[in-house]
Amino acid sequence: MQMNYLSTHSLLKRRAGYKKFLTLLSSTLSPVLISGLLLTNAAKAESDIDQDNLDDIVYQAMKVKPNIDNGRNLYRNCAVCHSPEGWGAASGRYPQIAGQHISVNIKQLRDIHDGNRDNPTMVPFTAPLFVQGAQSLADVSAYINQLPMVPNNSVGYGSELAEGKKLYDENCKECHKANGEGNAEKFYPRIQGQHYSYLVRQLHWIKNGKRRNADKKMVKQLQKFTFREIDLMSDYVSRLRPDKSIVAESIYWKNPDFRAGFYSAPRD
């Protein structure tokens, strides 16, 4: 399965060049020929649906040098739900965001802000970031990225892991990589070590169209999956271990940027 949340930056550039080429052609060739070319283009680009909707701000944010200190201040409002450590909730109510790729964080913030994901309680918190601009987006995303991941995320029942692996290898591996580390350059999120219930919920939401920032091809592929298959795949993914260098040393690790006893939203 091609889990294209987005296509690459280079692909975007290639498409922009292709459009220019078509514009040039339009002055010389007949409209019939042009429409034929456009149709072919549309068919080819079926899996690249989101790229045209991407704002420049996403790419601007990826280009600027992040300021972690500012990110720390901005993250304070995020911490009340995602926890100071960014580990989310084992119940799956909040995802683990610690260690997520900067590009993915920026892109997801954009999607939530634009209403491509149903998250009405997070929308008001994304708005100030977009008002402040690309630098703030980059800062908070980079701060989240450098947080160590939770060593004991919640996992599924552990039955039929072999089938879960088979499903993952056949459908997800191509984009999310063998160990679920994703691809920062291509906006494919890190899914290894994510909470099991969160994975199940998101896959169902992508399948039934509630989460609208997944590409059409991924939605189409997921629609073939049964509840059981989604469960098995999520179970397998939740058990993929991130590299030790990006995982916290202990489950008792506390984010030193926050005072002891910092309450966050209920976890269940």
**By three-state DSSP, how is residue 127 classified?**
helix
Q: Quick one: which of 118, 169, 170, 243 contacts other proteins (CB under 8 A)?
A: 118
Query: Could you tell me the two tokens for 196?
Result: 């099991």
Q: Quick one: which of 49, 61, 74, 81 contacts other proteins (CB under 8 A)?
A: 81
Count of residues that bind other proteins according to CB under 8 A: 18
CB of 120 to other proteins, least distance (A): 4
CB of 82 to other proteins, least distance (A): 10
Q: Quick one: which of 74, 104, 122, 233 contacts other proteins (CB under 8 A)?
A: 122
Q: Quick one: which of 14, 76, 216, 220 contacts other proteins (CB under 8 A)?
A: 76
Interaction of residue 210 with other proteins, rule CB under 8 A: no
CB of 77 to other proteins, least distance (A): 6
Of the two residues 113 and 190, which places its CB atom closer to other proteins in the complex?
Answer: 113
The residue written with tokens 């260098």 in the block is: 245
Of the two residues 26 and 116, which places its CB atom closer to other proteins in the complex?
Answer: 116
Distances (CA, A) of 186 to 9, 61, 103, 129, 190: 7, 15, 8, 23, 11
Of the two residues 118 and 243, which places its CB atom closer to other proteins in the complex?
Answer: 118
Q: Quick one: which of 27, 120, 131, 245 contacts other proteins (CB under 8 A)?
A: 120
Interaction of residue 262 with other proteins, rule CB under 8 A: yes
**Is the Cβ–Cβ distance between 157 and 168 less than 8 Å?**
no
152 Cβ contact list (under 8 Å, min separation 6): 251
Helices 102-114 and 134-145 pack at an angle, to 10 degrees, of 130
Looking at residue 86, what DSSP letter applies? Answer: S
Interaction of residue 22 with other proteins, rule CB under 8 A: no
Interaction of residue 91 with other proteins, rule CB under 8 A: no
Of the two residues 143 and 187, which places its CB atom closer to other proteins in the complex?
Answer: 143
CB of 127 to other proteins, least distance (A): 8
**Is the Cβ–Cβ distance between 198 and 92 less than 8 Å?**
yes
Q: What is the largest CA-CA distance in the chain?
A: 70
Indicate the residue type of 28. T
**Is the Cβ–Cβ distance between 189 and 229 less than 8 Å?**
no
Nearest alpha-carbon partner for 267 in 192, 190, 197, 193: 197
CB of 136 to other proteins, least distance (A): 15
CB of 67 to other proteins, least distance (A): 19
The residue written with tokens 């294209």 in the block is: 4
CB of 124 to other proteins, least distance (A): 4
Query: Could you tell me the two tokens for 239?
Result: 């058990």
236 Cβ contact list (under 8 Å, min separation 6): 161, 164, 165, 167, 168
Of the two residues 90 and 247, which places its CB atom closer to other proteins in the complex?
Answer: 90
Residues 123-162 that bind other proteins (CB under 8 A): 123-125, 127
Binding site for other proteins (CB under 8 A): 76-77, 80-81, 118, 120-125, 127, 261-266
